[in-house]
Amino acid sequence: MRALRGPALALLLAAALPGPARPHPQCLDFKPPFRPPRGLAFCRRYADFGCCDPRRDRALLQRFYRLSARLDGPSYAACAGHLQELLCQECSPYAAHLYDAEDPSTPVRTIPGLCQDYCLQVWQKCRSIFRHLSADRKLIALENNMAKFCRYLSLEDTDYCFPHLLANPNLNQNLGLVTADAEGCLQLCLVEVANGLRNPVAMVHANDGTHRFFIAEQVGLVWTYLPDLSRLEKPFLNISKAVLTSPWEGDERGFLGIVFHPKFKFNGKVYVYYSVQVHYEERIRISEFRISPADMNALDHGSERIILEIEEPASNHNGGELLFGDDGYLYIFTGDGGMAGDPFGTFGNAQNKSTLLGKVLRIDVNNNDRGPLYQIPPDNPFVNDPKARPEVYAYGVRNMWRCSFDRGEPHTKEGKGRLFCGDVGQNKYEEIDIVEKGKNYGWRAREGFSCYDKNLCTNSSMDDVLPIYAYPHKMGKSVTGGYVYRGCESPNLNGLYIFGDFMSGRLMSLKEDRATGAWQYSEICMGTGQTCMFPGLINNYYQYIISFAEDEAGELYFMSTGVPSATAPHGVVYKVVDTSRRAPPGKCRVEPSPVQVKSKRIQFVPKEKLIMKTPTPRPRLMATTEAPRGGGPDPERPHMPTVDWAGQALPLPGGRGRTPTTPAPRGRAPKPRPGAERRGQRRRKKPPGTAPPLRNGAVRLAEQQGRGRSWGRVEVYIDGEWGTVCDDGWNSLAAAVVCRQLGFPYVVRASKKAEFGEGTSLRILLDDVQCSGQEKTLLECTHADVGTHNCSHEEDAGVVCSMEEVADR
């Protein structure tokens, strides 16, 4: 066990898994192979893809010169080729396999595992070269016994030894390309980056070279994280007192967005977007804060200036994204004001340019220290339209949840500045839009590509822009917009727009066909088999995908939770990693500028583990390979990472390490979790211990549209089962009981006739419910006997509740 000791060893063991039946591409530093930045002069076979960069290649060449100087003329002629081949296996994409470095519990070989026929051939002609190649005394001792010698150098599986492995089409096809499963689902992996968060809605960076990141929780707290993933004890911002939200799952109100001014480094300004209640009126508020003069990791809480407030007629559809464009202007993404079907006014808010709801707004907050808090950019599209608010940049938006500007292709900058958004749909379709100035994105005339309001939709003067992609509700019911990947560490993902769905937990991607401009869809799954079998990587995540993020270096993250409540600390931040090809060593190194820390640091402790679906027990190693080889230090042994394994192996933000985890019992795989499933192993089950025990008469809402949990079909829990209420006499008194049970003080209306869908998978449990409105549960109202009814699911009852008094429209 040279080179791997102490914490590094513990970490290795934690990552130790039942060994592969087949090798997978992995280098001796435990990371995926890469495409060398320039060609290789010596190990040319691996010039396109492998584990050596030109520097390592030169070192191998030097070693070759040193070793061949020890050979006489005839030996050189016969053996130089073999010598080169043996040396160059360190550059093979399967190096870890050939040197037995995949299983950290066995010693690393000094000579790559050889196929028997090849070994015999080399032994016959050139066995003397081995004593120069390896200091392994045991090997040298076997030098004169061909059978024992070659057995000692053999690899367990004869197909995967050198050189047969090179000719194995299964291993060499698609090498270096993103792996997809049989259904075309791209196989990616994750790194856990932060956890224990309460509905993490946003993760942003300051663009100031510090590579800090800041994670916002819906309750109104923002935390500072350092590049080593430690969190500062003192919050960056705490406006939880002002922020309006509730513990109810799916509440769309709260702290929703944060963005650093592009010149934050110089002006210390940060903008936030949150829900507030002002005199019984619900609003969204966009405020400016300044950095604290005394602490670069905290905002000055007294510096708040309210830039803009917009009244919200209902508790859902509050938008929440804030972005700065390359133009230096602040983009604000509002929702249509809520309820269902954008019911306000003659044709809804989204198509009404004289309201700020259902819009993308663009304002200028630069030079606002004196005079107005914001100005209208002179080239805003409707500045000359007297019927339009001048802030409007684009309209016809329902509830854009997460937008991003494309950073552009790293070298050519192609695609830079494109504005991608996920717009949450009504009953049928979720969509991805590219937002452009002055354009109409269709809502409520259109939902996705289809008509929602037929009268509006057929009006040719609509002239709306269709989405680049829309998906039906069988795939997910609430889109979460993501990012075009432009990071450094996963080069194969460059140009892929990666997004997800809050309800179904599906991860998805779109790639533009540059010739046709069409967007091609691929689902993203979590890597199975050996795809994610690298130290520190996991392949599962919680289902409710809340948001995506980019760090300062452009790497991609997403946040999800197992319990989508603003008070449940089950949110995790994941970094997305493609193991099919990494960037060449050193290419993605960042050097964070120093941060002065005044508060206590809380070290990050990862909790999630790789899930092996069907662990293949690793065959016992052959007796000959069990003895530790290579007793003494060998100056000429293959290049192995020596120390700081923990600090180097993990592709983390800032390239720093993380705290080692407790070693897992060796040779046993972590048990697959309940709820892990093939499609991405997203977890549907809540973490244990979070659900309160159910009482008779408990209620829940099913078939929510979008993110709203304030309305839906009523489901009631009686004697161990969930069922529906079907009732033609269902009224607002009964609905009031349900709303109050769910924590909403107001009922907007009682919904009848299965408006929110038929709960056909459940039994009808209640009928003829008559309440005074003051009961604690529906069971306290008079009702027909449980399970006795003379109605069908077509009459399933629902409710529309509210946190505030709203007139039904």
Binding site for Ca ion (CB under 5 A): 441-442
Which of ligand NAG, Ca ion, none does residue 441 bind to, with CB < 5 to 8 Å depending on kind?
A: Ca ion
Nearer to ligand NAG, 241 or 279 (CB): 241
Which of Ca ion, ligand NAG, none does residue 241 bind to, with CB < 5 to 8 Å depending on kind?
A: ligand NAG
Buried b (16+ CB within 10 A) or exposed e, 98-112: bbbbbbbebbbbbbb
Separation between Cα atoms, residue 462 and residue 670, nearest integer Å: 56
In whole angstroms, the minimum distance from the beta carbon of 351 to Ca ion comes to 11
Which of ligand NAG, Ca ion, none does residue 442 bind to, with CB < 5 to 8 Å depending on kind?
A: Ca ion
Which of ligand NAG, Ca ion, none does residue 342 bind to, with CB < 5 to 8 Å depending on kind?
A: none
Which of Ca ion, ligand NAG, none does residue 149 bind to, with CB < 5 to 8 Å depending on kind?
A: none
Beta bridge partners of 249: none
In whole angstroms, the minimum distance from the beta carbon of 240 to ligand NAG comes to 5
Nearer to Ca ion, 176 or 467 (CB): 467
Segment (H or E) for 132? helix 130-133
Separation between Cα atoms, residue 237 and residue 454, nearest integer Å: 46
In whole angstroms, the minimum distance from the beta carbon of 40 to ligand NAG comes to 53
Which of ligand NAG, Ca ion, none does residue 471 bind to, with CB < 5 to 8 Å depending on kind?
A: none
In whole angstroms, the minimum distance from the beta carbon of 432 to Ca ion comes to 10
Which of Ca ion, ligand NAG, none does residue 384 bind to, with CB < 5 to 8 Å depending on kind?
A: none
What region, left, alpha or beta, does residue 229 occupy, with left being phi > 0 and alpha being psi -120 to 50 degrees?
left
Separation between Cα atoms, residue 396 and residue 252, nearest integer Å: 20
Sort 352 into a burial class: Cβ within 10 Å, 0-12 / 13-18 / 19+. buried
Residue nearest to ligand NAG (CB): 345
* Alpha-carbon Rg for the chain in angstroms: 30
Longest dimension (CA), the chain: 105
Sort 514 into a burial class: Cβ within 10 Å, 0-12 / 13-18 / 19+. exposed
In whole angstroms, the minimum distance from the beta carbon of 359 to Ca ion comes to 13
In sequence order, what are the residues at sequence separation of 6 or more whose Cβ sits closer than 8 angstroms to the Cβ of residue 331? 321, 322, 323, 324, 325, 360, 361, 362, 393, 403, 419
Nearer to Ca ion, 428 or 679 (CB): 428
Enter the tokens of residue 16: 């130790």
In whole angstroms, the minimum distance from the beta carbon of 458 to ligand NAG comes to 8
In whole angstroms, the minimum distance from the beta carbon of 652 to ligand NAG comes to 25
Which of Ca ion, ligand NAG, none does residue 352 bind to, with CB < 5 to 8 Å depending on kind?
A: ligand NAG
In whole angstroms, the minimum distance from the beta carbon of 342 to ligand NAG comes to 11
333: closest CA among 310, 304, 299? 310
Nearer to ligand NAG, 238 or 246 (CB): 238
Nearer to Ca ion, 30 or 441 (CB): 441
In whole angstroms, the minimum distance from the beta carbon of 353 to Ca ion comes to 16
In whole angstroms, the minimum distance from the beta carbon of 518 to Ca ion comes to 18
Cα angle vertex 636, ends 634, 640, to 5°?
A: 80
Residue nearest to Ca ion (CB): 442
Nearer to Ca ion, 358 or 442 (CB): 442
Is residue 116 within 8 Å of 110, Cβ to Cβ?
A: no
Instruction: Provide the binding-site residues for ligand NAG, judged by CB under 6 A.
Output: 235, 238, 240-241, 345-346, 352, 354-355, 459, 461, 768, 790
Enter the tokens of residue 631: 């007793």
Is residue 443 within 8 Å of 342, Cβ to Cβ?
A: yes
Which of Ca ion, ligand NAG, none does residue 187 bind to, with CB < 5 to 8 Å depending on kind?
A: none
Quickly list H helices, 153-208.
164-167, 169-172
Tell me, rounded to whole angstroms, the distance of Cα 502 from its chain centroid: 12
Q: Could you tell me how many residues make up the chain? A: 809
Nearer to ligand NAG, 54 or 345 (CB): 345
In whole angstroms, the minimum distance from the beta carbon of 388 to Ca ion comes to 19
**Start-to-end CA span in the chain (Å):** 73
Nearer to ligand NAG, 79 or 221 (CB): 221
Which residue has 């065959």 as its token pair?
A: 619
Which of Ca ion, ligand NAG, none does residue 792 bind to, with CB < 5 to 8 Å depending on kind?
A: none
639: closest CA among 2, 184, 159, 77? 2
Separation between Cα atoms, residue 224 and residue 316, nearest integer Å: 29
Nearer to ligand NAG, 241 or 620 (CB): 241
Enter the tokens of residue 164: 């047969």
Nearer to ligand NAG, 551 or 767 (CB): 767
In whole angstroms, the minimum distance from the beta carbon of 709 to Ca ion comes to 23
Nearer to ligand NAG, 241 or 370 (CB): 241
Quickly list H helices, 159-240.
164-167, 169-172
Is residue 485 within 8 Å of 510, Cβ to Cβ?
A: no
In whole angstroms, the minimum distance from the beta carbon of 233 to ligand NAG comes to 8
What region, left, alpha or beta, does residue 458 occupy, with left being phi > 0 and alpha being psi -120 to 50 degrees?
alpha
In whole angstroms, the minimum distance from the beta carbon of 543 to ligand NAG comes to 27
E-strand stretches of 436-490: 446-447, 450-451, 469-472, 479-484
Nearer to ligand NAG, 347 or 519 (CB): 347
Nearer to Ca ion, 333 or 722 (CB): 333
775: closest CA among 748, 805, 744, 739? 739
206: closest CA among 186, 187, 226? 226
Which residue has 């990693």 as its token pair?
A: 577
Nearer to Ca ion, 442 or 680 (CB): 442
Which of Ca ion, ligand NAG, none does residue 459 bind to, with CB < 5 to 8 Å depending on kind?
A: ligand NAG
The helix/strand/coil state of 525 is strand
Which of Ca ion, ligand NAG, none does residue 240 bind to, with CB < 5 to 8 Å depending on kind?
A: ligand NAG
